[in-house]
Structures are given as C-alpha cells and as structure tokens.
Structure 1
Amino acid sequence: MELKTGENDHERRLDRILRKALPDYPLSLIHRLARLGKILVDGRPAKIRDRIPCGAVISVPDSRLAGGGYAGNAQAHKEQKAAPLPHNILEILLRDEGLLILNKPAGLAVHGPDSLDNQVQRYLRENNRDGQSASISFRAGPLHRLDKPTSGVIVFSTSLAGARRFSELLREGGVKKYYLAIVEGRLAEAEVWEDRLVRDSSLKKTFCLPPSGGAASDSSLAITAVSPLAFSGNGNAYTLVLAEIKTGKTHQIRCQAACHGHPLAGDVKYGGKLMGQSAGHFFLHAWKLEFDGHSITAPPPRAFVSQAQSLFAENLDSITGLFQK
C-alpha cells in the first residue's frame, strides 16, 4: 500500500501520520513493521519517529500479509460513500488562514450522522480553494463545541496550521466568545457568575456546586459575565442577555443561568418553561467571536429574532442592530 503525504502532513512524525491514515492498524503492528524495516519512505526504510516531508511516498505492507490479521486499508476509509448534498447551504462567515467560520443553525448537531461536520467535509471536498494536496493524516474538524439546539458562530479548521494556531489562542485566552440569550426573570443589572461546575455524564447534565460545599476534585471553575439588554413588558418577565464566557465548560451558560435563577427560556432540562415550541429548544445564540484582530458576528436565526421582537417590542430600536450581520 502506498500513501502520498500532503501539505498538512509536512514534518509530522511517521507514527502519527500512520495512526491517522491507518486506523485499523494497531500501533504495535506499526512499530513492529518499522523495526523490521518494512515501512519505506521514498523507497528507504524509515524510523517510527522520522518527520516526513510533503510529497513523500510511504509504503506499508498490507496488514494481512504482515501477519496482523487486520484488513486495514486507508484508501477504503477515504472512499467511503459521500454524504448526500445538504438541504441547507452553509452560511460562511469567514474562510481564511486555515479556518472556516460558520453560522450554525439551531437543531443541527456538530458531530454524527446528518451533522454540520458532514456538510463541511462535503463542502471542502468540492471547494478546495487553497489547492492543497490531500492529507493522509489531517482531517478538517470543529475546534470548539456548540450544543445541538444552540445556533451561531463555530470554527472549523481547514489546515493543520490553522487548527494549531486557533487552539493555541483558546489555551492562552486569546478568543472572546459572546452569546445572546433569552432568560426567565428580570436580570436587573450586569453580573459576573463564578461557580464550581461538575458534570454528570450519565445524566448528560452539568450542576453547580453550592458555595459552601467546597471544591470537589472533579469540579471546575466557570466564569460568565452577563449584561441585560432588554426586558419584556408583559406579565411574564424575560430578559435579553449578552453573555461573555471566560471559560468553556459543557453547558456552562445553561447551568449557570439556572443556578442564578434565570434559566434559559425553553430550556426544560435546566428548569426553564416551554415557550410554545418543542421540548429541547431554547434561546441561546453564539453571537460574536473575537480573536487575532477578527470580530465575527453571526445573525441569530429567524425563530430567535421573532421571539425577541415579540417579547421585547418596547426595546426594538435598541436591539435591532444585534440581529444584523
């Protein structure tokens, strides 16, 4: 089997390339083949820690012939049936420097069957604008999370360099994330929520620890700054909120909003009331992302805008600009 490296494989270690390119090959088999001199790079035996340049040809024995008992075949993985064309067109906010930034629709999962990730892979196959050669070890993918019901800005990598750069910015606090949310109750003034959160994986739910309960070993600090933007004028009190997350924990805004007495409108899982829509739908939108000199804004979906216009009719002049790109 021969594999040709692309730009996104350049200077990666041989073992790391092969682990990605040959998922059916056990790592022990890859190491054994290298020790026996059976893995060749441009016709010469290669060491497992060698760094491989772009355009190199890696030759690997079929795992069945090598005694591994695995029918590993990288090309078979690459030639999986293409996902059907998406019914909706990707809303691209920016494509630049190895990143693809999108406005994710509410109700679309990021991963899994019929997901945003599948749509992105299809788009990139059909729009290789950068003219990059195919990679055998790098796959474009999302660089942070959004829940399925949450809409808004999400970043995908289209190159290894882009993925590394954005991930480094995330680690160093160089990315600012702002959300729009409709919450229950009247949030009278700006607040900073600081809570210890713990995740229950069996319930797929996040909980706030009580302030007096101490810090559990599996808890983590979550910080969210919230500011009220508009208040409803009817009998049911709701607030349109701008939230900036200082940390990135699973269900952070949903959990903290509920813990501070302002669950997201419609978020039944965290104590919110239904607002005439199906269960599982709530009003949370990743509105703006700032990093590295960029300021990317995603207009909220129609359902969010309609609900906001209905609830906050008296404040339309002050909030209309939030709903535009």
Structure 2
Amino acid sequence: MKILSDKNNLQVLYEDNHIIVVNKGAGDIVQGDKTGDKPLSEVVKEYIKDKYNKPGAVFLGVVHRLDRPTTGIVVFARTSKALTRLNDLFKNRETQKTYWALVKNMPQDEKATLVHYLKRNEKNNTSKAHIKEVPGSKKASLEYTVLQKLNTYTLLEVNLHTGRHHQIRAQLSFIGSPIKGDLKYGAERSNPDGSISLHARHLSFIHPVNKELIAITAPVPKDAVWSAVAL
C-alpha cells in the first residue's frame, strides 16, 4: 500500500504549542510496526522540525491510532503534559468521534444501535462479531445513521460507544453492509489505492491545556465515490 504523507504534503487540520491534528491518508501507519515503513508520527516530527527550525530531537506523543487503510483525524501531543491529559481523555472516552463509512448494501434500518460481542483473531488480524457472548469476546456497541444513498453505495455516519479492534468493520459486515474496499470483511473488490472507505470525519474534545472546546472536521479522500458525497 502506497504511503501518501510526507512533510511537504501533510494535511494539518489544527496545531498549537501543545497538540497537532492531521488528516491521515490511506497507507499511512500512525506508529512504526514490523513493516519498517516510515510512520506518520515521524513525518509529523519532520514537519515540526522544519517549520519551527527546532534543533535536536522533536517530542511527539502518539495518542491514538487508525487502521492503516483507514483515513481521517489523528491527534498527536507536542508536550508531555498534553500527552498525559490527552491519553486520559481518550481512555475515559471524553471525546466525541464520528466516522463516515461507504457501504455496499444499505442497512435494513435508516438508524440503529448495533450491539455485538467481538472476538479477535490475532493470527489473521481480524475480529469476528457474535450475537451472544463467547469465550474471549468483548462487548461492542455503535450507532449508525444513513446520511446519503448513492447509486451503488450508502454513506453512513457512525458513532462508537466502545473502542474495539476493527469494531466498525466487523459490525457493519455482520449486518450485511461491508465497507467499500474492505476485503477482510466481505467487500467484493479492493479500492485501487488499497484503502477502505472508512473515514474518521469529526472529532471534538476539551483542549488538554487551555480547556477550550476543539472541534475538527477532516475532508474526505479525493476519489470518485467520496466526491459524489454531498458535503
């Protein structure tokens, strides 16, 4: 999968002395992994170092992650104080996160809450949804709303009540509405760039230092289907 971001084309959505928020591209990994590919965290460090002429190492804290083929809002901390407080905000679910998903089959209900029990398979890096609790499973809950019906796909807005591994992907697949391009969870074909059409669209939270409300919206990817969405 092609890595999109570098320090020259980084989509910065918000920045101050304490935090920086970027729009992650499909293919970007938030933090280093076994692939050895340059992570988004290093790209952001390079951006900060160049923009502010910082000598020496740049501090940057990873607060949360998105799956590699997913796009949208990612928050990083620029100070240790901000990192500690942001970690608490995300851990205690004191943030408002909204995702957009393009799915192949329109769900039966225009709006619904989905509750399943997800069991993770470490070997193939997937999670399977079950109606009832099974050994090793964790309860997963989300709410979706149909925003728009396109010719082939349906745009859903998703709000998470829990934060489980591949939760949106697994739960939408279980109800017969796999995300566009998500071969792991039932999509018929991949997206040309290897992405899946799941986008972290909105995020709001109280600033960890100045205590003001921060509300951020990430533009959707530039491709034909996303472009058909009436924004």
Bin for the TM-score computed over the shorter chain:
0.7 to 0.9
**AA aligned opposite 1:123:** Y
**In 2, are the aligned partners of 1:240 and 1:308 still within 8 Å (CA)?**
no
In the alignment, which residue of structure 1 is the partner of 2:150? 232
Q: CA deviation at 1:149?
A: 1.1
Separation in 2 of the partners of 1:87 and 1:141?
Answer: 17
Q: If the length of structure 2 is used for normalisation, what is the TM-score?
A: 0.84
**AA aligned opposite 2:142:** T
Q: CA deviation at 1:94?
A: 0.9
Residues 75-111 of structure 1 deviation map (CA, whole Å, 9 limit, x = unaligned) = xxxxxxxxxx937421111113521100111122222
**In 1, are the aligned partners of 2:8 and 2:47 still within 8 Å (CA)?**
no
Matching of residue 147 in structure 1 with residue 147 in structure 2: no
Distance 1:219 1:97, change over 3 A: farther
**In 1, are the aligned partners of 2:7 and 2:47 still within 8 Å (CA)?**
no
Separation in 2 of the partners of 1:210 and 1:192?
Answer: 13
Matching of residue 118 in structure 1 with residue 39 in structure 2: no
Separation in 2 of the partners of 1:275 and 1:219?
Answer: 28
Q: Give 1 or 2: higher strand fraction.
A: 2
- Pairing partner for 1:193 from 98, 114, 123: 114
- Pairing partner for 2:181 from 247, 266, 271: 266
**AA aligned opposite 2:168:** I
Q: Name the SS for the 2:47 alignment partner.
A: helix
- Pairing partner for 1:127 from 48, 51, 54: 51
**AA aligned opposite 2:150:** S
Q: If the length of structure 1 is used for normalisation, what is the TM-score?
A: 0.61
Tell me which stretches of 4 or more aligned residues in structure 1 moved more than 6 Å. none
**In 1, are the aligned partners of 2:111 and 2:143 still within 8 Å (CA)?**
yes
**In 1, are the aligned partners of 2:183 and 2:190 still within 8 Å (CA)?**
no
Q: CA deviation at 1:297?
A: 0.3
Distance 1:87 1:175, change over 3 A: closer
Separation in 2 of the partners of 1:247 and 1:127?
Answer: 37
Separation in 2 of the partners of 1:154 and 1:141?
Answer: 11
Sequence identity percentage? 29
In the alignment, which residue of structure 1 is the partner of 2:199? 285
In the alignment, which residue of structure 2 is the partner of 1:223? 141
In the alignment, which residue of structure 2 is the partner of 1:320? 230
Q: Name the SS for the 2:87 alignment partner.
A: helix
How many residues align? The count is: 216
Separation in 1 of the partners of 2:160 and 2:170?
Answer: 12
- Pairing partner for 1:168 from 88, 104, 110: 88
Larger radius of gyration: 1
Identify unmatched segments of 5+ residues in structure 1: 1-84, 311-318
